[in-house]
Amino acid sequence: MSEPLTKLFMKVASVRSAAAAGRTFLESYPVDEIIQKAKHGKDALYPFSDLDEYGRALLGADISVKQATRFSTLDELVLLPPIFTPKRLERMTELAREPFFSDVDLETAIGGFRSRLPLAMASMGSTDVAHSQSPHLGRGAAEAGIPMGMGENIATVWGYARRTKASMPTFKQRLFAYLDHVKEPLGGVVIQQSVEDAFDELWHKVYTDPDVEPFFRKGLVAFEVKLGQGAKPGLGGETKVSRDAARSLKGKYYFPDDPDTVELDLYERHSAPGTYTEEILRGQLRSLRTNFPRARIWIKTGPFRDLLAMFRVASQERIDAVLVDGKEGGTGMSPVIALKDLGLPTLACLKRINDARLEGLRAPFVLSGRLFDGGHVVKALALGANAVAFGRPFIVAVGVGGAKGIRNYLEATEVEIRMLISSLGKYKVADVSHEDVGSLDRALADALNIPFVYA
Amino acid sequence: MSDPGLAPPQDHLRTSYRHVRDPRMQKVLRVQAALGSAIREYLDGEGFTELLPPIIGPVADPGIRGAKQATINFYGREYKVTSSAILYKQMMAASLGRIYFFSPNVRLEPLETASTGRHLVEFVQVDIEEAGATYEDAMRRAEDLVEHATHGVRARAGGELEAIGRRLNGGGTPYKRISYEEALRILADHGREIPYATEIPWAEEEFLSTRFQAPFFIYDYPRGSRGFYDREHPDRPGILRDFDLLYPEGYGEAISGAEREYEYARVIARLRETGENPSKYEWYLDMLREGIPPSSGFGIGVERLTRYVCGLKTVWEARPYPKVAGVFSP
């Protein structure tokens, strides 16, 4: 290669443009599918294109996969409907008619809350992409009757009740985008507190806030101890903030570039992962119960190798819910090497949940990490989760149509869940079990102790 | 005592300038002053040094049930208003051995406490610390102090007490001691199960208190139910060397006390129970690293003691200009 050409090549190869990053996301994430659902609701559930329509098209299972994956996902499992369906007979006896998929009862207890679906909106943090849309996200989740999480650093970065940036909502506005539209007795809000939020006593602030007090009385608020995140287990939260923000936050976070002496547009801001031993966690959970008797207590964990040991502590301490986020979970910002090399895939986390069930642990489990359709929900239920949480699908859906986009997306997902559960001859979420799922891969089948479908 | 439906005392508090001139209230305030001098007489006689209480500082006690700390802007940085002088008590016991403060505390309590009849946002506690003492020593100290104060007040303000119409059931020391586990068993026997390792809820504490005719101790709380500075039994992991003294007849908690953690490495692990970054407690940790002696101590709320001695329905009748959660008042 001539020298100018080499230079040009180096230049092209070294530019990581927004378009390229966007393309990667489009290629690896089912954005198109979610957009269709957010636009059309349940009408998006059939694979018609604009060119064919009902009665003319000939369709069948897509036998390809979008791309080769490095690790196994829930898409390597299939659900296994039976012919003989004693539970359907039970339901028919109740109804005095043949049951339809609309007869599946989806209302689920999630971590002390009641939810219209076995599905929650995962905690999103302080990054712009989630925070700027948070009024619609909160309203959408509340109107859909599902719980919603609020991630770390929102109050520290955007202010508890006074805006740190004119165009961005405060913590409290984000909280009330949900609470103002909550459909009691359904729903509930789950609030995290980072080490940095704890510096300002965020939970104490919320707990003593007269505006929030009625919701504690009704049991609609949980505090969530965050032990890590799918996309960066073992690392603290990371984001970029403006110079003004960096200056005001200096001392609470780690800034590799000192905002007082180095001039940049944006400053990397790292928060601490938090130090735990079993005893520290136990003590912290007990202190939470003592300090905030009217709050539900949740744990959010990343995909750590010692999940089972933590599940035992959670179970002994009667925690309301443990949310497990797999390594392919969404993130506002995570080092590439962490995304590539840290932690257990979501399916491996589900296997730990399954192990916990076999051990008889009582804690309710919520699974998250690149889950986006009704099939993922039902497979997670079959392997021991009580519910799942979605994150990125809601960000895509809210981008398509605000709170309406979320309602449409959830309508489509709800119908998927109903269809799948009813196909298994079951009409209650709690009846979905191990027998309902099989694996396309033999090693996976052995690991999960479910049938290898070709055997 | 406090009936569960007790309304927050909006009107009462707004007109506190009028209540302080009520003849009965005047007697209560004289009893309160008499209690103060009886307490000082006892502690001074036992070789304690009274110190000026801290009002503000970079950190305050995080081990307060649900209550938020008040903050003030200190030339661009943040100071906390004392929620308890615990960290300073350890500092001063290391210097003078036996010390006490009449310490004003501010705790922004949750709104639900506005109707317990037992919580004030601003109150004064006599905060006592004694170097080299065990928690058994501290319990003996606590019961001696309460005995001395309740007897001393009769000598000093007998007329007022008679006019108020309060006769204390004499108990005599030593007060009965029950462990935290026994307390849970008593509650469970009365159909009031509470989960192990949480602080005893206010309603249950009050119920227990109605079962006794004289003050009594609950000791050995489990780790997690109390502040990080309560020392863990070296040979009984998970159990703290601490105690509460409860008044009888439903008046509830009088005193919280404990032997202290004083070793740096133990404290830093315990501090994480608050979910905070230990760096927030920089001066305190530096002090521990340099070394302080073991100590024990306790705090006794002056308003609650007054309420008990005078037989008042609520604690906001036991001080001038009371402040209760959520009520804006003089």
Q: Which residue of A has its CA nearest to B58?
A: A199
Strand ordering across the sheet containing B77-81: B56-57, B77-81, B71-74
Residue A270 forms contact with B (CB below 8 Å): no
On whether any CB of chain A is under 8 Å from the CB of B56, the answer is no
Give the chain A residue nearest B224 (alpha carbons): A283
Question: Chain A residue with minimal CA distance to B79?
Answer: A200
* Cis-peptide into B23, omega within 30 deg: no
Tell me which residue of B35, B264, B47 sits closest to B158, measured CA to CA.
B35
Cβ contact A195–B199 (<8 Å): no
Tell me whether residues A198 and B67 touch, CB distance under 8 A: no
Q: CA B206, CA B252: separation in Å to the nearest integer?
A: 5
pLDDT for residue A16: 61
Cα–Cα distance list, B239 to A283, A328, B197, B314 (Å): 11, 41, 9, 33
Find chain A residues with C-beta within 8 A of B4's C-beta. Answer: none
pLDDT for position B188: 96
Residues of chain B with pLDDT under 50: 1-4
For residue B271, give the chain A residue with the closest CA.
A280
Please answer yes or no on whether A293 and B325 come within 8 Å at the CB atom.
no
B222:A282 CB<8 A: no
What is the distance, to the nearest Å, from the Cα of residue B250 to the centroid of all Cα atoms in its chain?
A: 16
Which chain B residues contact residue A297 at CB under 8 A?
Answer: none
**pLDDT in the model for residue A81:** 98
CB–CB contact B65 A290 (8 Å): yes
A362 pLDDT above the threshold of 90 = no
Nearest CA to CA, how far is B198 from chain A (Å)? Answer: 5
- Look at A198 and B66 and tell me if their CB atoms are within 8 Å: no
Residue B3 lies in a domain: no
Q: What is the DSSP string of A239-267?
A: EEEEHHHHHHHBTTBB-SS-TTT---SEE
Tell me, what's the pLDDT at A376? 98
- Is there a contact between B66 and A204 if contact means CB atoms under 8 Å apart? yes
- What confidence score (pLDDT) does residue A190 get? 98
Do B224 and A282 make contact, defined as CB atoms within 8 angstroms? yes
pLDDT in tens, B45-95: 999 999 999 999 999 888 778 899 999 999 988 899 999 999 999 999 999
Helix ranges, A268-371 (H):
278-291, 307-316, 336-341, 346-358
Q: Please name which of A435, A88, A147 lies closest in space to residue A300, comparing C-alpha atoms.
A: A147
B2 inside domain = no
pLDDT at A355 over 70: yes
Task: Decide if pLDDT at A99 tops 90.
Answer: yes
Q: How far is CA A342 from CA A190, A345, A350, B74, in A?
A: 26, 9, 17, 43
Q: Does A286 touch chain B (CB under 8 A)?
A: yes
Residue B324 forms part of a structural domain: no
Predicted confidence at residue A120, as pLDDT, reads 98
Output the pLDDT for position A124: 92
Tell me if A274 and B199 make a contact (CB, 8 A cut-off): no
A6: contact with B, CB 8 A cutoff: no
Quote the mean pLDDT of chain A: 91
Query: Does residue A368 contact residue A323 with C-beta atoms inside 8 Å?
Result: yes
pLDDT confidence tier of residue A55, bands split at 50, 70 and 90 = low
- Whether A208 sits inside 8 A of B66 (CB atoms) is yes
**In a domain? residue B323:** no
Query: Domains of chain A, with CATH numbers?
Result: 102-237+273-448 (3.20.20.70)
Distance from CA of B111 to the nearest CA of A (A): 6
Question: Across the interface, which of A199, A210, A318 has its CB nearest the CB of B276?
Answer: A199
Cβ–Cβ of A207/B225 closer than 8 Å?
no
Chain B, 175-214: which have a CB under 8 Å from a chain A CB? 195, 197-199, 201
User: What's the pLDDT at A50?
Assistant: 58
CA distance to A108, A298, B221, B271, B324, per residue, from B64 (Å): 35, 21, 15, 13, 16
Q: Measure the CA–CA gap between A340 and A213, rounded to whole angstroms.
A: 43
pLDDT digits (tens, 9 = 90+) for A414-448: 999 999 999 999 999 999 999 999 999 999 999 99
Determine the structural domain holding residue B197 and report its residue range.
10-317
B86 touches chain A (CB under 8 A): no
Å between A60 CA and nearest CA of chain B: 53
pLDDT at B3: 47
Give the tens place of pLDDT for each residue, A114-163.
999 999 999 998 888 889 999 999 999 999 999 999 998 899 889 999 99
∠ CA B102-B105-B106, nearest 5°, is 165
CATH number for the domain that contains residue B34 = 3.30.930.10
pLDDT at A333 over 90: no
Alpha helix positions (H), A164-201 = 171-179, 195-199
Which pair of structure tokens corresponds to residue B156?
């000093």
Instruction: Write out pLDDT tens, residues A173-226.
Output: 999 999 999 999 999 999 999 877 888 889 999 999 999 999 999 999 999 999
Q: What is the pLDDT of residue B185?
A: 96
- Model confidence pLDDT, tens digit, residues B145-178: 999 999 999 999 999 999 999 988 666 889 999 9
List the Cα angle B268/B272/B273 in 5-degree steps. Answer: 125
Q: Does A333 touch chain B (CB under 8 A)?
A: no
Q: Span A267-296, mean pLDDT?
A: 91
Q: Which of B135, B139, B105 is nearest to B122 (CA)?
A: B105
Q: Does B275 touch chain A (CB under 8 A)?
A: yes
Predicted pLDDT at B225 = 85
- Of A362 and B124, which is predicted with more confidence? B124
State the smallest CA–CA distance between residue A271 and chain B in angstroms. 10
In this prediction, what percent of chain A has a pLDDT beyond 70?
93
Contact B275 A293 (CB under 8 A): no
Query: Distance between CA B103 and CA B60 in Å, rounded?
Result: 13
Contact A291 B65 (CB under 8 A): yes
Between A43-47, A66-70, B100-104, B109-113, the lowest mean confidence (pLDDT) is in A66-70
Considering only CB atoms, B69 lies closest to which of A195, A201, A318, namely: A201
What's residue A51's pLDDT? 56
Residues in A touching B273 (Cβ below 8 Å): 280, 283-284, 286-287
ipTM of the complex: 0.86
Mutate to test the interface with B, among A287, A292, A319 (most CBs of B within 10 A): A287
Residue B320 to residue B23: CA distance in whole angstroms? 13
Q: What is the pLDDT of residue A109?
A: 96
pLDDT of residue A53: 65
Is B195 within the bounds of a domain? Answer: yes
* A282 contact residues in B (CB cutoff 8 A): 223-224
Contact state of B273 with A274 under an 8 Å Cβ cutoff: no
Gap from B182 CA to chain A (nearest CA, Å) = 19
Q: Is residue B72 less than 8 Å (CB to CB) from chain A?
A: no
Is B197 within a domain?
A: yes
Tell whether B64 is covered by a domain: yes
Bridge partner residues of A78 (DSSP): A438
Contact residues, B window 214-273, toward A, CB-based 8 Å cutoff: 222-226, 269-270, 272-273
Q: What pLDDT, on the 0 to 100 scale, is given for residue A2?
A: 59
CB B270 to CB A198 under 8 A?
no
Rounded average pLDDT over A106-113: 96
So what's the pLDDT on residue B2? Answer: 41
- pLDDT tier, A14 (very low <50, low <70, confident <90, very high otherwise): low
Task: Test A283 with B273 for CB contact under 8 angstroms.
Answer: yes
Let me know if residue B329 belongs to a domain.
no
Q: Which of B63, B222, B275 has its CB closest to that of A195?
A: B275
pLDDT in tens, A77-93: 999 999 999 999 999 99
CA distance A267 to A258: 8
Nearest chain B Cα to A207, which residue? B110
Cβ–Cβ of B108/A213 closer than 8 Å? no
Q: What's the pLDDT at B247?
A: 96
CB contact under 8 Å between B272 and A291, yes or no, is no
Residue among A207, A284, A317 minimizing CB distance to B66 = A207
Ramachandran category for residue B168: left, alpha or beta (phi over 0 → left; psi -120 to 50 → alpha): beta
Q: Is A193 on the interface with B (CB under 8 A)?
A: yes
Counting the structural domains of chain B, the total is 1
